[in-house]
């Protein structure tokens, strides 16, 4: 590392400093931070989640606590307040930590407690996005996509390609977090980011108009049913140019969606049955 300003040794300006530990911004820093956190939390009898190494859980005398890590932001929840406070106390002894209290917003998602359970929404994020792209005052539409519209690749000059890509990026974040209802439309429109036409723009605007009318939609999780339910489906050859079908899937737990997706199939199916089997196999 170059000598910091104010600490340069006269006559040795050409020399550099040898680091003895990571500094913020180095490419090694995220890995070493995660390794450090893993060691600390695993020493407290936490275990890794089998599907996500940023999710940890601990069980003690029938009580449970779950910890979710995103870079250096931590979300903790458990079956009682005492076990949660124990975890926070342990972490504060090992790290410089600021307790933000009960979680209300994380990663742009609003968390609300209701009489039925917990709800997640992105109403404020959607509102900011609509205002940013000047669609907050638009007239809402009842659906995010018109099935009678058959989009094709643009053979001419791109129509506002940069802004189109920016809007698709904003929609993808929302579709992947809390709005499964726009996943198909956004996935379909994202295929044309390199060369959008006026028709693609009209379809994109429809998604924004739909979000304007459904800005307060949320995922409401209840204590039942306490079992994961999964569904998959597919249409058949909606893309006439590539002769490909589109798969879709969704998993539910506690009465709301926990995972979903919509994507174009990679192989050609010869019937509706084949396209649905492909969708099931890739879910």
Environment class of 234 (CB within 10 Å of its CB; exposed 0-12, middle 13-18, buried 19+) = buried
pLDDT band at 7 (very low <50, low <70, confident <90, very high): confident
Confidence of residue 26 (pLDDT cuts 50, 70, 90): confident
The DSSP H or E segment spanning 73 is strand 73-78
Domain 29-103 class? alpha beta
CA dist., res. 164 & res. 141, Å (int):
20
* pLDDT at position 154 over 90: no
Is the per-residue pLDDT at 85 higher than 70? yes
pTM of the predicted model as reported, rounded to 2 decimal places: 0.83
SS3 258: strand
Closest by CA position to 94, among listed 135, 46, 139, 50: 46
Q: State the pLDDT confidence band at 240, using cuts at 50, 70 and 90.
A: low
Give the C-alpha separation, 5 to 226, whole Å.
58
- Return the residue matching tokens 């209300």: 104
| pLDDT tens figures, 111-138 | 998 888 999 999 999 999 999 999 999 9
Q: In the prediction, which pLDDT does 22 show?
A: 83
Report the C-alpha gap between 37 and 48 in whole angstroms: 12
Q: Alpha-carbon distance 221 to 211, whole Å?
A: 21
Residue 231 · residue 249 · CB < 8 Å: yes
Cα atoms in the Cβ-side hemisphere of radius 13 Å centred on 166? 8
Strand partners, 263: 247
Question: DSSP state, 153?
Answer: -
For CATH 3.30.310, the residue range(s) in the chain are 29-103
In this predicted structure, the answer to whether residue 200 has a pLDDT above a threshold of 70 is: yes
Other beta carbons less than 10 A from residue 211's beta carbon? 26
Q: What percent of the chain has pLDDT over 90?
A: 60
- What pLDDT, on a 0 to 100 scale, did the predictor assign at position 239? 64
Positive or negative CA dihedral for 157, 198, 249, 239? negative
Q: Which residue has the higher pLDDT, 156 or 209?
A: 209
* Band (271; pLDDT cuts 50, 70, 90): confident
Query: Is residue 178 very low, low, confident or very high in pLDDT (cuts 50, 70, 90)?
Result: very high
- Average pLDDT along the chain: 91
């Amino acid at each position: 590392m170059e000598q910091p300003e104010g600490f340069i040794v006269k006559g040795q300006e050409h020399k550099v400093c040898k680091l003895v530990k990571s500094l913020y911004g180095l490419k090694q820093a995220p890995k070493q931070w995660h390794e450090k956190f893993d060691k600390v939390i695993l020493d407290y009898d936490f275990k890794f989640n089998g599907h996500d190494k940023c999710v940890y859980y601990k069980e003690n005398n029938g009580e449970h606590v779950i910890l979710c890590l995103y870079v250096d932001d931590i979300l903790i929840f458990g079956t009682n307040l005492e076990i949660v406070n124990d975890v926070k106390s342990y972490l504060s002894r090992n790290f410089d930590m600021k307790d933000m209290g009960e979680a209300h917003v994380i990663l742009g998602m609003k968390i609300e407690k209701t009489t039925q359970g917990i709800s997640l929404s992105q109403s404020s994020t959607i509102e900011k996005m609509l205002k940013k792209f000047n669609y907050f005052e638009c007239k809402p539409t009842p659906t995010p996509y018109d099935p009678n519209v058959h989009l094709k690749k643009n053979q001419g000059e791109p129509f506002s390609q940069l802004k189109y890509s920016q809007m698709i990026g904003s929609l993808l974040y929302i579709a992947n977090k809390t709005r499964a209802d726009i996943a198909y439309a956004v996935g379909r429109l994202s295929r044309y980011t390199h060369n959008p036409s006026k028709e693609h723009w009209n379809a994109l605007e429809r998604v924004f108009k739909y979000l304007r009318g459904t800005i307060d939609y949320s995922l409401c999780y209840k204590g039942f049913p306490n079992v994961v339910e999964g569904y998959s489906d597919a249409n058949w050859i909606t893309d006439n140019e590539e002769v490909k079908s589109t798969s879709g899937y969704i998993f539910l737990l506690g009465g709301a969606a926990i995972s979903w997706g919509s994507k174009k199939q990679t192989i050609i199916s010869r019937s509706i049955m084949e396209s649905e089997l492909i969708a099931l196999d890739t879910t």
